[in-house]
Amino acid sequence: MASRTASAASPLFLLLSVFGFIIGFGSFFVTGINASAQTYTNPLPETQQSDRITFLPGQPSNPPISHFSGYITVHPGRALFYWFFEAQSQPTKKPLLLWLNGGPGCSSIGYGAAVELGPLRVKRSGVGLKFNKYAWNKEANLLFVESPVGVGFSYTNTSSDLTKLDDSFVAEDAYHFLVNWLNRFPQFKAHDFYISGESYAGHYVPQLAELVYDRNKDQKNYPFIHLKGFIVGNPETDDFYDSKGLLEYAWSHAVISDQVYQKAKRVCDFKLLNWTDQCNNAMNFVFQPYTEIDIYNIYAPICLLNTTSSSSTSHYDVLASRFKVKGKRKRILGGYDPCYSTYAEEYFNRMDVRLSLHVHTTEKWRVCNDSILNSYDFTVFSILPIYRKLIKAGLKIWVYSGDMDGRVPVLGTQYCIKALGLPMKAPWHSWFHHQQVGGRVVEYEGLTFVTVRGAGHLVPLNKPSEALKLINSFLSGGNLPTTH
C-alpha cells in the first residue's frame, strides 16, 4: 500500500490553495469568521492560530463555533490529523475529552465528529453542515483524532509503518499525539482529561489510558497528564465473550434459526485465537442474514442509497465485503453506516473543505480504510486485565451499550463485565430521559455499565439526546435519573 505523504509544495496543491483562499475570502464577507467569542485565549499563540478554522464550507453562521484542525507529528515522517472544538461555554473550566473511533481503520472525523457527537454534522446531501444541538462539546472541550496512520487524513512517509500496525503501535502513537497536542495547546494541560470511544476503540481507549497512567508515574521522563477516567461504547473487549455474545444475540433476537445457532455453538470454540474452518463456515451462516438487515442497528431500516445507482454497490455487497478473515478469525469493521459514510466522503473529499481543514494530503479520504483491517495484527485477545489494573488505580470507568447492536452486542459486554467479578454497588435498574426509559444501569465497585434503549452501534447518532445526558452524568459525577 502506498504511503500517505504530505504534498503541500506540489503545483496542484498551490493552485488549489489559491482557489481555496478566494473561496474563503469571499465567504468571510458573507458569513464572517466562524470563531467563538468564548475562545480560550486572545490572541492565540501562532501555532494555534495557524490551525484555527476560520471558514468551513457549508458551516452555519450561528451559533459561533471555535474549532481547530491540523497535524500533530508523532514520529519523524508520521503525523495524525485532529479536529478540536472548544466547549460551547466556559472552555477554561471544562474538561478535555478525547474521542477515538475503531474499525480498525475507521475515522473519528467521519464518525465521531461529523456523524455522531461533534457540533457540526454532515448534511444528508453531503453538500454542507448542520449544527448538532446534542454535541458533546456542551460538556467538554472535544478532541477528535484519526488513528492509526493510514486512517483518514493521517499519514506516514514510511510505507512499512502500515505493516506494523497493532494495538501497541497505535497506543504509542496516540500517546505521542496527546503529549504533542498539549504542547501546542498548553492552556489545556491543567484540565481534567478523559478518553472516550466506541467499537474497536474498546481496545484503543483503555490501552491509551493505561499508557498515560503508567507514564504519569515517571514524571522525570514524561509529562504529567491529568487523566481522570474513560468511557467506551459498544466496545470490543474480549474476543471470547464478544464472539459468544454476537452468536447468542443473533439467535435470541430472531436473526438466525435454532439450527444455525446450535451448529455454530457446537463447532466453535471462541477461546481459540484462530477459528477452525468448521467454525468459520458455521459463522458464515450466522453473518448471512446481516446482509439483509443492518448488523449495527438490527431494527433500523437499511440504507437504500447505494441501490439507487448502477455505479454503487448494493447493501449486500457492501456488508459482505466487510466479512474479513484474519488468522482464520472472522472480523467485521466496527462503525459502518453506508448512508452516512457516503455523505461524509462526499463532503471531506471536496477540495475547498480540505483546504479549510488544513489538510496536507491529496489522497482520497475514506470513512473506513479496509486495508488497515486486512493488515492489522490482532495480538491482544482481551482488555480485561487492563480494566482490573485501572479500576484498582481508581480511574472513573463507564461502559455503555446500545441494545440494538448486533456487531458488539450488549450480551457480550455483559459477559465481559461479569468476568471482572466486581462487587455490586447498585443493582440493575432503569434510568429515565424525557419521561421515558432511557435504558438500564448497574453500578459496580469501580465501573458503571449503562444500556441505551433503542440505540445501535453508534449511540450518539441513534439516540443523541440520551447520549448527551450520558456524557453529562459521566463527566459531572451525577447519577442518571431513576424516576420519571
Return the CA Rg of the chain.
22
All cell numbers assigned to 358: 488544513
Q: What is the largest CA-CA distance in the chain?
A: 68
Residue 457 falls in the annotated catalytic set: yes
Angle between helices 239-252 and 258-267 (to 10 degrees): 160
Q: Which secondary structure element, helix H or strand E, spans residue 326, and what is its range?
A: strand 324-326
Contacts of 328 (CB under 8 A, 6+ apart): 274, 275, 276, 277, 280
Annotated active-site residue in 66, 199, 401, 473: 199
Contact 458, 408 (CB under 8 A): no
Annotated active-site residue in 107, 243, 405, 473: 405
Report how far residue 145's alpha carbon sits from residue 164's, in angstroms, rounded to the nearest whole number: 19
Residue 89 CA, distance from chain mean position: 24
Residue 173 falls in the annotated catalytic set: no
Residue 253 falls in the annotated catalytic set: no
Contacts of 175 (CB under 8 A, 6+ apart): 208, 211, 212, 215
Contact 441, 279 (CB under 8 A): no
HEC states along 412-457?
Answer: HHHHHHHHCCCCEEEEEEEEEECCEEEEEEEEECCEEEEEECCCCC
Q: How many CB atoms are located within 10 Å of the residue 104 CB?
A: 31
Residue 43, preceding peptide bond in cis (omega within 30° of 0): yes
Enumerate the active-site residues: 199, 405, 457
